[in-house]
Amino acid sequence: MKGKNLRVTDTRPNIIALRLDASFFFERAVRSLDRNHYDKALKYFRKAVEYEPDNPVNHCNMAGILSEMGDYQGSNEVLESVLQNVSPSMTECYFYMANNYANMEQFEAAETALVTYLEEDEEGHFLEEAEDMMELLYYELNRPTKLNRIKARQGAVEHDQARLLLEEGKFAQAAKLLEKISGDQPDLLAARNNLALSYYYMGMFEKAKGTILRVLQDDPGNLHALCNLAIFYQNEGGGPHLDVLLESLAVIVPFQQDQVFKLGTTMGIMGRHEEAYKHFRRLLKDSGNKTDASLYHYAAVAASNTGRYEEAERLWQQVKKLDPASETPRFYLSRLHELRSRSKPMEKLSYHYHLPFDEQFKLWEKYGSRNVPEEMKKDPLVRSSFFWALRHGDDATKSQVIQALTLIGDEEVREALGLLLADTTQAPALREQARAALQDMDASRMPAHALVSAGQPGEQPLEQRTAAADPQIQAVLDKAFSVMGKRYDIARQNDLKDLWFEYLDRISPEGFSIQHVEGWAAALEYLTAKMHHTRATYREIADRYGISVSTVSRYARQIDSVCGIKQKIAQRFPSFTEKV
């Protein structure tokens, strides 16, 4: 083969060098997971951590596999290491830890981790899951989780507290909290809307209107603000501004239920009853509202105000079924039957779910000065009408209101009477009546043991009531009052005492023996705090009385099973306030 050169070719196969790094092992781990090979996946994730020890994601992947394999403790050790040594800002680790603790049935540890997550995490990727876990913890621990804030929803928790104060008729306290929230977070328009309402309920109309107008400057289409402005315009006597605003509101068809309720109530207050009726009927078509007695009342009022009397009767009959203890549907049904028997049209009715103002006074007189039910005293709509009349009623009405408010006697009442007393434009007789009422309330602030011994006028003294029973019954009250100290006002001490005797009366205390004074006292304090919407946990109460959490829980459940405290607390009416 002369003249030809041999060409040597490279016959070695093409080889791609393996690049062993964290990504390589991560991919292998994911493949293993897809095949449910958890042992291999864990091995590969461990290798990924070795190659990139400063990458917190690798550590969390490893913790996730350990959790899937049932090694919850090992998973939490990895997560704690991430927070301490790798990335303290990786707050979602607290959520993962809470899940692990819950799986280990360490519910208090799960609660601590979950609260830390909610209070420290800015992104809120697991908010929905966290809310589900809070429901689980509520069921397991038999108490709500104490939560000061949700960082991813800044101001939401504080705003809920303010809304609750507003709904309870504690307008001054609500205003103070809402002023702080609005100052810290001016973009939270719901807080500013509710601040305007609190000013309005306190009779500070110019301040209320100015607050709403500033909201509308920032958000001209804000429905809650527009509805509030309509009410404020009406308070000023109406005029062309109100007419234009009402025409624009009349063509709005909101989608969200709270907006439908707000618009329906507003149109009713404005006298646009046909529009109000349509909105309330829309709400009643939703299956979730079928047990809401107050909503049926609003629909009944709208039906009556539009001449649909048979429909109004049917709706008030439904209110009676849903809220059998309420006097409101009975009054309106009676009034409806009376006027229809005379072939007279029903007068235009208020959309508030309580009796007309004069009827409230008649009912209080029927019960007697010292026997008005506590739920009636605490009804926020009753309170708001009283505070309103104290500012804007005639002298005769104000005199009646002072008598009624004296029976409530809480700090909000003291503040309102104090303002009237300081107002030199008020009639001297009214100021003197307010002074006497305040003095009566001051006289009632006697030491707890004296209060318990004295009882109410016409009531058998406590020593006689308990003489035939175990003397430890009195010891329970003494213990509760001594531990509560000055943290609870006289009204709450009275409520605790009433709750104790309500329980004893229902179980017939003859032969009833008190074996654990601290347990009963702690349970009474816990339930009293809940009745007043005061934050309290079994752990806090147990520490004060030097007993275990399970002891407080056991006695609280025993009292609740007889007196139905949780059910009473849960029966709250829909609010006119705006949610976040």
Predicted TM-score (pTM) of this structure: 0.47
Question: What is the distance between the alpha carbons of residues 411 and 304, in angstroms, rounded to a whole number?
Answer: 38
**What number does CATH give the domain 367-443?**
1.25.10
Six-digit token string for 104: 């280990």
Q: Identify the band that residue 402 occupies on the pLDDT scale cut at 50, 70 and 90.
A: confident
Q: Do the beta carbons of residue 130 and residue 114 sit within 8 Å?
A: yes
Question: What is the distance between the alpha carbons of residues 163 and 74, in angstroms, rounded to a whole number?
Answer: 43
Question: What is the distance between the alpha carbons of residues 115 and 111, in angstroms, rounded to a whole number?
Answer: 6
22-143 matches 253-353 in fold = yes
Digit-coded pLDDT (tens) for 173-185: 888 989 988 888 8
Answer with the residue of higher pLDDT: 80 or 162: 80
Question: What is the distance between the alpha carbons of residues 530 and 563, in angstroms, rounded to a whole number?
Answer: 14
Digit-coded pLDDT (tens) for 22-46: 677 677 767 766 677 777 778 877 8
Residue 95 has pLDDT above 70, yes or no: yes
Question: What is the distance between the alpha carbons of residues 266 and 238, in angstroms, rounded to a whole number?
Answer: 14
Residue 273: per-residue pLDDT: 93
Question: What is the distance between the alpha carbons of residues 359 and 74, in angstroms, rounded to a whole number?
Answer: 66
Residue 227: per-residue pLDDT: 92
Digit-coded pLDDT (tens) for 52-63: 777 787 788 888
Nearest to 491 by CA among 374, 343, 391: 374
Residue 308: per-residue pLDDT: 92
Q: Taking residues 372-384, what's their average pLDDT?
A: 63
Six-digit token string for 6: 């041999």
Question: What is the distance between the alpha carbons of residues 70 and 90, in angstroms, rounded to a whole number?
Answer: 23
Q: Identify the band that residue 213 occupies on the pLDDT scale cut at 50, 70 and 90.
A: very high
Tally the C-alpha atoms within 13 A of residue 353's C-alpha that lie toward its C-beta.
Answer: 23
Q: Taking residues 431-449, what's their average pLDDT?
A: 66
Six-digit token string for 280: 């309330």
Q: Identify the band that residue 447 occupies on the pLDDT scale cut at 50, 70 and 90.
A: very low
Six-digit token string for 292: 């809401």
Q: Identify the band that residue 467 occupies on the pLDDT scale cut at 50, 70 and 90.
A: very low
Q: Tokens 């309106």 label which residue?
A: 332
Q: Assign a CATH topology to domain 253-353.
A: 1.25.40
Q: Taking residues 392-410, what's their average pLDDT?
A: 77
Q: Taking residues 227-253, what's their average pLDDT?
A: 89
Residue 556 has pLDDT above 80, yes or no: yes
Maximum average pLDDT range among 64-73, 194-203, 262-271, 508-517? 262-271
Name the CATH superfamily for 448-570: Cyclin-like (1.10.472.10)
Residue 212: per-residue pLDDT: 94
Maximum average pLDDT range among 108-112, 427-431, 466-470? 108-112
Answer with the residue of higher pLDDT: 6 or 205: 205
Q: Where are the domains of the chain?
A: 22-143, 155-252, 253-353, 367-443, 448-570
Burial class (CB in 10 A: 0-12, 13-18, 19+), 214: middle
Digit-coded pLDDT (tens) for 561-580: 777 776 565 443 334 566 65
Answer with the residue of higher pLDDT: 385 or 159: 159
Residue 225 has pLDDT above 80, yes or no: yes
Question: What is the distance between the alpha carbons of residues 171 and 196, in angstroms, rounded to a whole number?
Answer: 11
Residue 377: per-residue pLDDT: 66
Q: Would you say the C-alpha torsion 51, 54, 55, 61 has a positive or negative sign? A: positive
Digit-coded pLDDT (tens) for 320-361: 998 887 777 887 888 788 777 777 777 777 776 665 655 566
Mean pLDDT (the chain, rounded)? 77
Residue 138: per-residue pLDDT: 78
Residue 279: per-residue pLDDT: 93
Residue 254: per-residue pLDDT: 85
Residue 244 has pLDDT above 90, yes or no: yes
Q: What percent of the chain has pLDDT over 70?
A: 76
Residue 62: per-residue pLDDT: 83
Domain 22-143 -> CATH class: mainly alpha
**What number does CATH give the domain 155-252?**
1.25.40.10
Answer with the residue of higher pLDDT: 149 or 89: 89
